[in-house]
Structure 1
Amino acid sequence: MGRLFRNIGWLLGGRAVNAVLSLVYLALATRTLGLEGFGAFALIIALGQTVTGLASFQTWQFVVRWGSAADGPGKATGFAMALDLLSVAMGSVLAAALVWAAQIWLPLPRDLLWLAFGFCLVSLLALRTTPIGVLRLRFRFGMATAAEAVQPVVRVVGAGLAAIFLPTVTGFILAWAAAEVAVAAALWILAAREERIDLAQVSLRRIPRLHPDAWRFVWSTNMTGSLNIAGKQVMVLLVGAIGGAELAGGFRVASQLGQALVHLAQAVSKAIYPELVHAQEAAHGMARRMANISMIGGILAVSFALVFGRWGLQAIAGEAFGVVYWAMVILAVAGAIELIGASLESLLVSTGRAGTAFLIRAVPTVLALALLGMAMDWNGLNGAALTVLASSALAVLGFRMAISSHQQVTMAVEPPSAKPGD
């Protein structure tokens, strides 16, 4: 547990730096662009993240899962890089289709469509989960945190320059694109120092030959990652499609501030997954303890959002964004629930039950997206936030039930221990 908490400390430290800097660039973007301009900016960012989320694979998990073999991470890293190339190809086609269709269903001006397509391509070329996997395999969480800190720093600098020299949606998108490239470059440089990157190992065949269940694991984790994107970025796009750019911008601000806990949940998940893979026998106890600790943190964070949230919104984004206070609080509660469930979901994936984790996440997410229009007709942004809350609650409840069921089955099939004297 000592190494786990140390690794979580590195990740949370990085998230803390990111959170502080994100307040700076969020304030610059919202106050410079206003509600409508920030809404268009939020829709382009959501498009780029949707494309990368749907097309990319959770390659860091593959490096961690198969890279610890006796022959080292070479084959696993080569497989992950081959999947990254496949992601770029598939994602480019998906980006072209989504941006072309955006003029039909998204409130984006036509002159921003090429900018949106360019941002999608940059996001695809800046995929970085493979070098993150190499660093996590060697438990170099400090190095990964240092490299990932490049992104918010470049965003702050870029947002400041955009606010002064190019105070438009284009200026801020260029700043975000530069940050994507910079953080990807930093991670690949550090990963190459840690492990030799052998391009001759790039292959989609070697790992599946060694591990017959490889493709099932690949597609299960990919679909789970896609669902996470659907629950966040696709939600922003649909809010914009239903309610317009201003509501999309408001939902983006509420989500970024209210769901900061989701980022903590992702940090916990990323830190605990390698530990669960390497310590299967102690995995259940480790995940349970982390869930209990996370519950305390979630309660404190939601309390903070209730007391200081309205003031924080208006201080950072301006008076116009104060109307999203209750949506932010609801999303904070959803984030607290995700924080509790992070270790449970990682436990399922680490035991080879990625497909189960996907199904448990899929049903609530699809329901939330299907009911979004009705929820917004009923209560606007608050209704949209409530669909996210319900989805998170159902998913975490499902993770808990699946783990309990698995434990009962395991206990039932294990032979009873011999009694003394037998």
Structure 2
Amino acid sequence: MSRNWLTKWSRSEDPLIRVFRNSSWLFSAKGIGAIMSIFYLAILTRTLGVSGFGEFMVIVGAVQVLTAILKLQTWQAVVQFGVPYLLAGQNQAFRKLSFQNFWIEFIGGLVACGALWLMLPYGASQFAWSDPVVSAIMGYGIIVFLSVRSTPIGILRAQDRFGGNAFGDAIIPIVRFIGAFFLWLTTPSMTGFLIVWGLSEFISFIVMWLLVWRHRDSVHPLSSETAIAASPPSRTEFLAFLLFTNLAYLVNVIRERLVVVIVGFFVGPAAAGLFRLADQLANSLNRLAEVFARPLFAELSRLFAVGQSQELRALFWRSLRVSALSGAVLFIGLLLLGQYLISFISGPEYLAAFPILLLLGASTIISLAGLGLEPLLQAAGRARNALMARVAGLVALGLLMALFLPMFGTIGAAWVMLISAVLTTIILFVSSRAVIAHPELAKSGSSRP
């Protein structure tokens, strides 16, 4: 009986089972990452202290924001325009698309290196960083910016090879855990942790490209010799999709990372440390959401490419029910175990982060309830709609932050995150109604993103 079930699981082409099967590969990586992150987060918080941990996370957050602004994420473009090529057996066209996206990502990384070099003196004067710390920050930034990871992620996902994708992702927390443990045994310092964080990005970058090279002649498992040849996207269509998906990604990163940087600059490193600890724990839920959302986007893109509108609509509603139920269970667990988790990982001096954790966890779970909405809009070629929802949430975040942060400090910032998440999800639902009702019409009219 169990063998039959496993056979059905491994061979089924039911869209939701395919999403879960691909999610299981990513979940294995995220599961490893979650376990490893508990340990290296404990080492970070306990060795650097509340203030030092806050400074470290301000540095990491600032680099990630610069990455989102200047180094374009290309994996969605590779999936969106590459899957039709692979289904039609046009491997040469897929390679050309991948090569194009590699250079887009790499050139953006070079620009980000220059921006960090110009901005570092201001941060050094604000936090009184020593020369070794400044050098470590610059080195960390260069590694992050020049490690072209988004393009190979897109290649592996377009080829339906989520196992390799999961392995490359798992490298980062494993290296961070080993490095943090070594520092804990020797001489932990902010410089040392920055070196470890940069090393984890570099090793993951190397592994990802080795996996791409290994599968360079692979074809999509659902490709067919009778498939209709895919036409290349116009330059306007490609650039518009790349622009809107990256702006949506930027809005998300600003919402997750820039708030920590703002709290650190205007309230202080200790407040940033408490906020980031709560944010890190809440983001573990967000990582679970990404595990499901990324294969969902790839599957929705495939269904749009082959014109299976009925299966697409059914997949969306089934995934929505799963994500809503998962969110409710996760929040109950956070409510019951959040304080114990904070105390276990970082010690009682961090318990002030618990109310912040509940609010940030609630905002993440609100987003989880509408998990399939953004992938649906992007797969339908309506990335602009998804972007506008994110921008509206970001505008609300900025306006309310200016009001709440001076009056209420970190707890005010957490309330702003929750309000922004609710507003964004509502707008995504409204924007998706036409696509949900008539996906075949949405795709046919999606020449303008």
Query: Same fold by TM (over 0.5)?
Result: yes
Kept in 2, the 8 Å contact 1:260–1:335? The answer is: no
Question: Which of 330, 337, 361 lines up with 2:359 in the alignment?
Answer: 330
Inter-CA distance 373–163: structure 2 relative to 1 (3 Å threshold): farther
Q: What are the Cα deviations for residues 351-401 of structure 1, in whole angstroms up to 9, with x where unaligned?
A: 011111111101111221332242223332221111111111111111111
Secondary structure of 2:127's aligned partner? coil
Partner of 1:225: 249
Q: What are the Cα deviations for residues 164-210 of structure 1, in whole angstroms up to 9, with x where unaligned?
A: 2231111111111111111111111101111169xxxxxxxxx9875
Matched AA of 2:290:
Q
Inter-CA distance 27–75: structure 2 relative to 1 (3 Å threshold): same
Matched, 1:339 2:368: yes
Q: Distance in 2 between matches of 1:291 and 1:13?
A: 22
Inter-CA distance 47–212: structure 2 relative to 1 (3 Å threshold): closer
Secondary structure of 1:216's aligned partner? helix
Partner of 2:283: 259
Question: Which of 209, 215, 222 lines up with 2:239 in the alignment?
Answer: 215
Partner of 1:419: none
Kept in 1, the 8 Å contact 2:110–2:146? The answer is: no
Map of 1:113-124 to 2, 5 A cutoff?
113-124=134-145
Q: Distance in 2 between matches of 1:412 and 1:15?
A: 36
Matched, 1:182 2:216: no
Shift of 1:409: 7.3
Over the aligned positions, Cα root-mean-square deviation in angstroms equals 2.2
Kept in 2, the 8 Å contact 1:295–1:340? The answer is: yes
Q: What are the Cα deviations for residues 105-155 of structure 1, in whole angstroms up to 9, with x where unaligned?
A: x53525433322222111111230111111111111111112211111100
Matched, 1:385 2:414: yes
Map of 1:342-357 to 2, 5 A cutoff?
342-357=371-386
Q: Distance in 2 between matches of 1:228 and 1:107?
A: 26
Kept in 1, the 8 Å contact 2:289–2:368? The answer is: yes
Partner of 2:50: 35
Kept in 2, the 8 Å contact 1:288–1:344? The answer is: no
Q: Distance in 2 between matches of 1:164 and 1:251?
A: 27
Secondary structure of 1:223's aligned partner? helix
Map of 1:59-138 to 2, 5 A cutoff?
59-68=74-83, 69=85, 70=88, 71-72=90-91, 73-103=94-124, 106-107=126-127, 109-111=129-131, 112-138=133-159
Matched AA of 2:293:
S
Q: Distance in 2 between matches of 1:294 and 1:258?
A: 16
Question: What TM-score do you get using the length of structure 2 for normalisation?
Answer: 0.85
Matched, 1:13 2:28: yes
Q: Distance in 1 between matches of 2:440 and 2:17?
A: 28
Shift of 1:83: 0.7
Q: Distance in 1 between matches of 2:259 and 2:62?
A: 11
Shift of 1:97: 3.1
Question: Which of 169, 186, 194 lines up with 2:190 in the alignment?
Answer: 169
Query: Which 5+ residue runs of structure 1 have no aligned equivalent?
Result: 198-206, 414-422
Matched AA of 2:188:
P
Matched, 1:151 2:151: no
What is the aligned length?
A: 404
Kept in 1, the 8 Å contact 2:70–2:108? The answer is: yes
Kept in 2, the 8 Å contact 1:51–1:120? The answer is: no
Kept in 1, the 8 Å contact 2:58–2:264? The answer is: yes
Matched AA of 2:410:
L
Q: What are the Cα deviations for residues 290-323 of structure 1, in whole angstroms up to 9, with x where unaligned?
A: 1211111111111111111011101101111110
Shift of 1:99: 2.0
Map of 1:188-337 to 2, 5 A cutoff?
188-195=209-216, 210-280=234-304, 281=309, 282-337=311-366
Query: Which 5+ residue runs of structure 2 have no aligned equivalent?
Result: 1-15, 219-230, 443-449
Inter-CA distance 411–57: structure 2 relative to 1 (3 Å threshold): closer
Q: Distance in 2 between matches of 1:119 and 1:412?
A: 46
Q: Distance in 2 between matches of 1:313 and 1:300?
A: 19
Matched AA of 2:373:
L
Q: What are the Cα deviations for residues 20-57 of structure 1, in whole angstroms up to 9, with x where unaligned?
A: 11000000010011111111111111122111121222
Kept in 1, the 8 Å contact 2:313–2:439? The answer is: no
Question: What TM-score do you get using the length of structure 1 for normalisation?
Answer: 0.91
Kept in 1, the 8 Å contact 2:81–2:233? The answer is: no
